[in-house]
Chain A
Amino acid sequence: RKEVEQDPGPFNVPEGATVAFNCTYSNSASQSFFWYRQDCRKEPKLLMSVYSSGNEDGRFTAQLNRASQYISLLIRDSKLSDSATYLCVVIDTGGGNKLTFGTGTQLKVEL
């Protein structure tokens, strides 16, 4: 089983739509969770951290279900500029503070 698993997409949605991405992780001892965004041929950029209680930042909502080892990202009222690859990232316990990336989910927002 992959350490961090995502549906690669692409998700093609019209502007204004609501879209949800899911991610599962294999290590139950994982301690920190993030969503990063990556534009084509650019570096990953932090979108938001994911907290156990769930958190919201404008149009973006992230949720964590530790029992199911599942993370989600919801984007409301999607914009053309939201088109990118969304990366689920997990930090495990143990040394190194290593970030493990999922394969990413590609989103294309269309007119």
Chain B
Amino acid sequence: EPEVTQTPSHQVTQMGQEVILRCVPISNHLYFYWYRQILGQKVEFLVSFYNNEISEKSEIFDDQFSVERPDGSNFTLKIRSTKLEDSAMYFCASSGPVGEGTEAFFGQGTRLTVV
């Protein structure tokens, strides 16, 4: 069964450092997403990506964040200068075209710990 894969599963970084979280979405999907979940809190939308550009982003997704699809398979989230409050589980997801199975499938997540 096709699945979304994320690497690494756990990343520890020092405050102020840059991190790149990597995702390989399901191959025939067109929409890609990043979500985050701070421990004990709800799943929060960060950004959606379609047709090689950002289609929507939340207030959380400020100038410190960027996304990229550098090749035909990877989808990355970069945090330029991490803060303590960026510590969370980051989930990548992908979905098909609207109207054709719009359900999104999630990767297993990257647990980011900023120290």
| Interfacial residues, chain A to chain B (CB-CB below 8 A) | 32, 34, 38, 41-46, 49, 87, 91, 94-104
B interface SS class = strand
Q: Considering only CB atoms and an 8 Å cut-off, how many residues of chain B contact the other chain?
A: 24
The answer to whether B43 and A34 touch across the interface, beta carbons within 8 angstroms, is no
Option from A38, A46, A100, A104 in Cβ contact (under 8 Å) with B105: A46
Option from B31, B44, B50, B91 in Cβ contact (under 8 Å) with A44: B91
A102 CA / B108 CA spacing, docked (Å): 19
A97 CA / B102 CA spacing, docked (Å): 8
| Interfacial residues, chain B to chain A (CB-CB below 8 A) | 31, 33, 35, 42-45, 48, 50, 55-56, 89, 91, 93, 95, 98, 102-109
A100 CA / B58 CA spacing, docked (Å): 11
The answer to whether B91 and A43 touch across the interface, beta carbons within 8 angstroms, is yes
Option from A34, A43, A45, A96 in Cβ contact (under 8 Å) with B50: A96
The answer to whether B103 and A96 touch across the interface, beta carbons within 8 angstroms, is no
